[in-house]
């Protein structure tokens, strides 16, 4: 069942059957392993790690056999990207929580194909009906309903405020009001799935066939802090919902209680032993929905479990939710080592939320994705690097690579991100970026600042005349992008070694590589040159001319290398710094410079002859053997830069020609530095870079600049 779920296959094949009492796809009854009800399971991981895939697999395996609700909370009417848009979701008669409850009622009340019966909601449905349809004041009620509905509301309002209302008159007015709702229900909450069906079910469950009083006795005991009979108390709940703030949160918690009570009430003593529980799947619970929905729901869930110990335990639904987060963080391991749910009276509510982090897929999993394909040996390492360990990204990369391998054309690793993805036909980099940054505005903003090493440089980029960034200030735009997307905890943050401040701006290596690839291949050479010229200028002091190749900041050289100014600027500047820096400092500089994105596709400077038209390098004339040192610096930079491209295959071993070139360059610098009268000659970082666990070993193991080891 979980063939493509990797780390999550155990959730579908082992954990879910233990909670539902049945394997996915149906089958014989199996003993449920949670005697007082299972925990709420939260699956936490980065984007494209399989959170949605596991919920889809659970839905596919169970929806035909048990009542199932499967809701994606990623957008309206449940959540919104911006605070202003999110506030609009809370109106006088609706909230993200009531919208979700409507959808859950609608889906759970749909009969599955198997033997299980659909659920009804005699407690929750009328409460949702009143919250949604009751209009205290026409000024806040939106479109004016038909006259008979308005008249019935007025009469019912007067009757509800009476100290001892006549139940028969009130029941007649309620029935009249419900009947009148049929003509306006579709316009009450546009866009809320299942609204019409739930409201219709509410009116049916409130009255039995003989037209007796509404079945609201449960609400009388539930709302024991209010006065009046059950109907009056329920209308006081509506008033509390209308007041918003903490009062609305209390009202929403009561509605969650009603949902759980209705599900529990649908199972009699025999049904608790023979019928499978309902299944609720909630995808993309964000931080706001965690506070508004998940935390109070788990508290209600735990309380119901603790109130019904022993053989009369509550029939709780099986609940799986997913959320963005760092799946590999230690605090996302299961809440307790020993399952606490066997002694519910001793368990605080938080123990009923079992958080399962999704680890990243590694080399063994990626090789398994290529099963049956004769793939190039370095390909899994490249896929792991470009996917960032995300299952969904790795599957896209492997699928695209397999399609090319099985076709007539050879696979070039440098072209992997430009190949059409099998599922959409767009270039693979486009598909991956859509997957990682689904918000179009955030995606465009991230593309605009992707090469920047820090906030100030990114703000300089946004000061360029760009019609799509009219306001606010560039620095504020960058800060909003970081806070809203790029610095969220679910990314795989790996800042570069802190030699020159915090770099780069985008610390998720795979995301940055994909953004830079798209910028280089789709933006055109003019835009690429303009961006890196602007960024290089950010680090160019006012007294240093662009042609001055000896005093530039290494961050300037980083962007100059991305511009292709290899011999004319970068090598000459590194030679100048080589003569004036300690070996470890110089290697740190080269580490930063060689982490620059490739200037253009196919650029291989190690194969390009030096430009003879350049004036003589000043550093070459300062010391005997300067030309040989210059050549070694040039070879080392070219080799490390090429091996540090995201799609570059690591050397196959120490005898690989690319590793041999790095060794030859470092050994030449060792020899040259050893001839110089330096007091620190005994400690030579160039020797360490060649020795065991140095640069050669690191490159063979797939390490790239700027992460090469420097003591």
What whole-number distance in Å separates Cα of residue 358 and Cα of residue 13?
A: 16
Task: Sort residue 295 into left (φ over 0), alpha (ψ -120 to 50) or beta.
Answer: alpha
Residue 21 confidence (pLDDT): 87
Order of all β-strands in the sheet with 279-283: 68-72, 279-283, 318-324, 40-45, 353-357
Residue 680 confidence (pLDDT): 58
CA nearest to 234, candidates 160, 162, 97, 127: 127
Long-range contacts, stretch 338-341, CB < 8 angstroms, 24+ apart: 339/34, 341/34, 341/35, 341/36, 341/37, 341/38, 341/39, 341/305
Backbone dihedral angles phi then psi of residue 72, each to the nearest 5 degrees: -95, 120
Q: Give the pLDDT confidence of 169-215 residue by residue, as tens digits.
A: 766 777 777 666 655 655 666 666 666 666 666 666 655 544 334 45
Residue 152 confidence (pLDDT): 66
Q: Is the pLDDT of residue 345 over 70?
A: no
Residue 683 confidence (pLDDT): 62
CB 565 within 8 A of CB 601: no
At residue 25 the predicted structure's pLDDT band, cuts being 50, 70 and 90, is confident
CA nearest to 42, candidates 327, 359, 323: 323
Residue 1 confidence (pLDDT): 42
What whole-number distance in Å separates Cα of residue 100 and Cα of residue 76?
A: 10
What whole-number distance in Å separates Cα of residue 530 and Cα of residue 12?
A: 50
- On average, the pLDDT of the chain sits at 82
The whole-number average pLDDT for the span 42-63 is 90
At residue 517 the predicted structure's pLDDT band, cuts being 50, 70 and 90, is very high
Residue 138 confidence (pLDDT): 41
Backbone dihedral angles phi then psi of residue 68, each to the nearest 5 degrees: -135, 135
Q: Give the pLDDT confidence of 656-695 residue by residue, as tens digits.
A: 999 999 999 999 999 998 887 665 555 688 988 998 889 9
The pair of structure tokens assigned to 24 is 């996915």
Residue 334 confidence (pLDDT): 39
CB 637 within 8 A of CB 600: no
- Distance, C-alpha 44 to centroid of its chain: 9
Residue 38 confidence (pLDDT): 81
The whole-number average pLDDT for the span 618-640 is 92
Per the confidence metrics, is the pTM higher than 0.75?
yes
DSSP letters of 509-526? HHHHHHHHHHHHHHSHHH
CA nearest to 4, candidates 366, 249, 289: 366
Q: Is the pLDDT of residue 378 over 90?
A: yes
Q: Is 87 helix (H, G, I), strand (E, B) or coil?
A: helix
**3 state SS for 408-449:** CCCCCHHHHHHCECCCCCCEHHHHHHHHHCCCHHHHHHHHHH
What whole-number distance in Å separates Cα of residue 553 and Cα of residue 544?
A: 10
Residue 605 confidence (pLDDT): 56
Q: Is 640 helix (H, G, I), strand (E, B) or coil?
A: helix
What whole-number distance in Å separates Cα of residue 172 and Cα of residue 151?
A: 13
Residue 213 confidence (pLDDT): 43
DSSP letters of 353-417? EEEEE-PPP-HHHHHHHTTT----TTHHHHHHHHHTT-HHHHHHHHHHHHHHHTSSSPP-GGGGG
Residue 82 confidence (pLDDT): 73
* DSSP code for 277: P
Q: Give the pLDDT confidence of 201-211 residue by residue, as tens digits.
A: 666 665 554 43
The whole-number average pLDDT for the span 320-347 is 59
| Residues constituting the chain | 711
CB 30 within 8 A of CB 23: yes
Inter-CA distances, 51 with 12, 40, 55, 77, 488, Å: 12, 15, 7, 21, 17
What whole-number distance in Å separates Cα of residue 395 and Cα of residue 361?
A: 10
Q: Give the pLDDT confidence of 451-464 residue by residue, as tens digits.
A: 999 999 999 888 75
Residue 516 confidence (pLDDT): 96
Residue 453 confidence (pLDDT): 94
């Amino acid at each position: 069942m979980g063939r493509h779920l990797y780390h999550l296959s155990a959730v579908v094949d082992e954990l879910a059957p233990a909670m539902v009492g049945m394997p996915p796809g149906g089958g014989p009854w199996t003993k449920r392993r949670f005697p007082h009800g299972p925990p709420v399971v939260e699956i936490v991981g980065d984007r494209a790690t399989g959170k949605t895939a596991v919920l889809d697999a659970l839905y596919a395996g169970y929806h035909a056999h048990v009542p199932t609700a499967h809701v994606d909370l990623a957008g309206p009417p449940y959540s919104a990207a911006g605070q202003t848009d999110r506030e609009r979701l809370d109106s006088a008669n609706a909230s993200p929580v009531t919208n979700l409850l409507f959808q859950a009622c609608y889906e759970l009340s749909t009969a599955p194909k198997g033997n299980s019966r659909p659920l009804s909601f005699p407690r929750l449905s009328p409460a949702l009906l009143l919250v949604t349809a009751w209009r205290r004041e026409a000024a806040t009620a939106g479109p004016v309903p038909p006259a008979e509905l308005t008249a019935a509301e007025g009469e019912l309002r007067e009757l509800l405020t009476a100290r001892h209302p006549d139940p028969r008159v009130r029941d007649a007015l309620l029935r009249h009001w419900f009947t009148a709702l049929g003509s306006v229900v579709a316009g009450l909450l546009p866009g809320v799935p299942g609204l019409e069906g739930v409201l219709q079910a509410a009116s049916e469950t409130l009255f039995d066939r003989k037209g007796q009083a509404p079945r609201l006795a449960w609400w009388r005991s539930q709302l024991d802090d209010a006065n009046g009979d059950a109907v009056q108390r329920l209308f006081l709940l509506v008033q509390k919902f209308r007041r918003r703030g903490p009062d609305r949160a209390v009202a929403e918690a009561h509605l969650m209680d009603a949902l759980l009570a209705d599900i529990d009430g649908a199972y009699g003593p025999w049904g608790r032993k023979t019928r499978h529980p309902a299944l609720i799947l909630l995808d993309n619970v964000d931080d706001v929905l965690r506070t508004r929905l998940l935390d109070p729901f788990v508290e209600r869930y735990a309380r119901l479990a603790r109130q019904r110990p022993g053989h009369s335990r509550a029939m709780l639904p099986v609940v799986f939710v997913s959320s963005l987060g760092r799946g590999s963080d230690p605090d996302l391991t299961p809440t307790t080592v020993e399952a606490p749910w066997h002694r519910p009276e001793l368990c605080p509510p938080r123990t009923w939320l079992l958080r399962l982090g999704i680890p990243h897929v590694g080399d063994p999993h990626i090789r398994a994705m290529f099963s049956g394909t004769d793939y190039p040996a370095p390909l899994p390492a490249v896929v792991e690097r470009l996917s960032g360990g995300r299952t969904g990204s790795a599957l896209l990369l492997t699928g695209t690579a397999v399609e090319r391998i099985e076709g007539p054309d050879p696979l070039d690793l440098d072209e992997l991100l430009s190949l059409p993805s099998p599922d959409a036909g767009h270039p693979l980099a486009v598909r991956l970026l859509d997957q990682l940054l689904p918000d179009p505005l955030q995606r465009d903003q991230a593309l605009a600042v992707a090469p920047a090493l820090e906030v100030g440089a990114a703000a300089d980029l946004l000061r360029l005349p760009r019609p799509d960034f009219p306001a606010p200030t560039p620095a504020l735009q960058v800060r909003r992008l970081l806070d809203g997307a790029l610095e969220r905890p679910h990314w795989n943050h790996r800042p570069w070694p802190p030699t020159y401040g915090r770099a780069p701006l985008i610390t998720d290596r795979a995301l940055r590589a994909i953004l830079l690839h798209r910028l280089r291949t789709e933006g055109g050479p003019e835009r690429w040159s303009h961006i890196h010229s602007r960024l290089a200028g950010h680090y160019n002091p006012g007294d240093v001319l662009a042609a001055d190749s000896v005093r530039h900041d290494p961050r300037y050289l980083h962007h100059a290398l991305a511009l292709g100014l290899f011999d004319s600027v970068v090598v000459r500047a590194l030679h100048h710094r080589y003569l004036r820096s300690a070996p470890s400092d110089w290697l740190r500089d080269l580490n930063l410079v060689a982490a620059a994105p490739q200037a253009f596709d196919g650029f291989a400077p190690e194969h390009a002859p030096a430009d003879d038209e350049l004036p003589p390098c000043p550093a070459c004339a300062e010391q005997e053997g300067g030309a040989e040192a210059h050549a070694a610096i040039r070879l080392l930079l070219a080799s490390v830069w090429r091996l540090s491209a995201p799609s570059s295959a690591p050397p196959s071993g120490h005898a690989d020609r690319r590793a041999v070139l790095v060794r030859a360059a470092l050994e030449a610098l060792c020899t040259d530095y050893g001839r110089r009268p330096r007091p620190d000659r005994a400690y030579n970082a160039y020797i360490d870079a060649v020795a065991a666990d140095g640069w050669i070993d690191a490159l063979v193991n797939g390490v790239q600049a700027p992460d090469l080891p420097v003591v």
